[in-house]
A = this chain, B = another copy of it.
Amino acid sequence: MVIELINTGGELMLGRVLNTHQQWLCRQLADHGLVVTRQVAIPDEVTAITEAVREALGRADVILTTGGLGPTSDDLTRDGIARLLGCPLREDPAVVTHIQQYFTQRHRPQPASTLVQAQVPAGATVLMNAFGTAPGLVLEVPGGQFRPGTKPTWLVMLPGPPRELQPMFQNQVLPWLQTRLPSRPAYACLNLRTTGIGESQAEEKIRGPLQDLVDAGLVLGYCARVGEVDVRLEATGPGAAARVAQAAERVRAQLGEVIFATGEAALETVVVQELVARRQRLVLAESCTGGFLAHRITNVPGASAVFWAGLVTYDNAAKEQLLDVSAATLAEHGAVSEPVAREMAAGARERYGADYALSVTGIAGPGGGSEAKPIGTVFVGLAGPRGVSVTRHLNRFDRETFKWVTSQQALDRLRRELGSAAV
């Protein structure tokens, strides 16, 4: 099955934004064993859009387009494609109702221009937009339309906003695609998520033990970002599932507790689920992560059952006033120090009656480093029923990566303390 992707958007061509649609859609398809063979980005211009679609027609079995279905003057995809294919646009009453309800429910006036989104090419299947107004559209284009002898193509048009495109693709397009796929050989895929080990270090440990399975067709993939390495195991054909399971067992034996999840779960999800199971209370005492740790914890549905509060104590006085860190410790050792991390965690746990308290203090940079404590120095404190302990790290990254890696180290400290390794 040949799948091509066409992204429209002037902001892409000007380099104002990253093409997150490409990654997200390609990833979704790849996870179902479908690989996009060509992706094209073009500006919001009718000629560019129709030329790109015309080229792909007859070459691809499925063409996915993103963007250009909205109500403004640079939304030209629906119109351009309807004209290219000679499909007249007709108002779809169901879409009209959907758009009206969308605005009524939100108590917002409905701009007249929004109704243009109810104009649907004749013969198109409408994909209702659960999170916006512009419907997705599916057209079956007969073979040989522009070049003799070419195959028919499914043309799937998706709206541009990610929070509209993503659920529409997952809930409507993927199930639809799967019913139209030719029967494929068995396919199995398993993802093991690790933190605290580098990509080449992980590879060194598992390459040898997996070699015979790789020789027999196992596909071994790594997806590395700072502070997190996913090991992906794939197999196709008879016995695929058994081969992947066998490989997973060997990877677990080699990597042990650096594996925090099987599948796609985030580290914060693993931690929150373990606390929920134990009915234990967490308090966070952050400095250099500036609320990012609390943000990650509260991204997990159900976190409110275990997360009591987070204190983002940016100022030293806030550390004293909210966490009972002593002025003497701050004066003697500085805010970024082992003793302060210790007092932050212990203070938070005792004062707020938590089972566990995590603390973080560090130097994100760009300023503030010294010989003894260079930029990137971080102390992570953990206070729990078994006492208080502090680890020291050196995270030399840009500000956002610094916050990510530091929060990763803190969450992993707690995960290991809770003994919830996914092994």
Interface residues of A in 368-423 (CB under 8 A from B): 394, 396-401, 403
Chain B's nearest CB lies how many Å from the CB of A21?
10
Give CA–CA (A296, B293) in the complex, Å.
12
- The complex is assembled from copies of this chain, and their number is 2
Chain B positions within 8 Å of A161 at CB level: 224-226
- Among A16, A26, A201, A394, max chain B CB count under 10 A is at A16
Q: Is A251 an interface residue (CB 8 A)?
A: no
Interface residues of A in 277-316 (CB under 8 A from B): 284, 286, 289-295, 297-299, 301, 303-304, 307-315
Tell whether, in the assembled complex, residue A222 and residue B13 are in contact, meaning their CB atoms are under 8 Å apart: no
Tell whether, in the assembled complex, residue B295 and residue A290 are in contact, meaning their CB atoms are under 8 Å apart: yes
Chain B positions within 8 Å of A223 at CB level: 9, 11, 16-17
Give the residue of B23, B232, B366 whose beta carbon is less than 8 angstroms from that of A19: B23
Tell whether, in the assembled complex, residue B114 and residue A200 are in contact, meaning their CB atoms are under 8 Å apart: yes
- Known contacts A308-B315, A310-B312, A315-B309; is-contact A35 B14 (Cβ 8 Å): yes
Closest to A59 in B: B51
Tell whether, in the assembled complex, residue A318 and residue B314 are in contact, meaning their CB atoms are under 8 Å apart: no
Tell whether, in the assembled complex, residue B72 and residue A394 are in contact, meaning their CB atoms are under 8 Å apart: no
Q: Is A94 an interface residue (CB 8 A)?
A: no
Extra inter-chain contacts (5) besides given A295-B295, A309-B314, CB under 8 Å:
A12-B39, A14-B35, A70-B199, A310-B311, A312-B312
Tell whether, in the assembled complex, residue A111 and residue B200 are in contact, meaning their CB atoms are under 8 Å apart: yes
Q: Is A208 an interface residue (CB 8 A)?
A: no
Closest to A26 in B: B15
Give the residue of B28, B72, B303 whose beta carbon is less than 8 angstroms from that of A222: B72
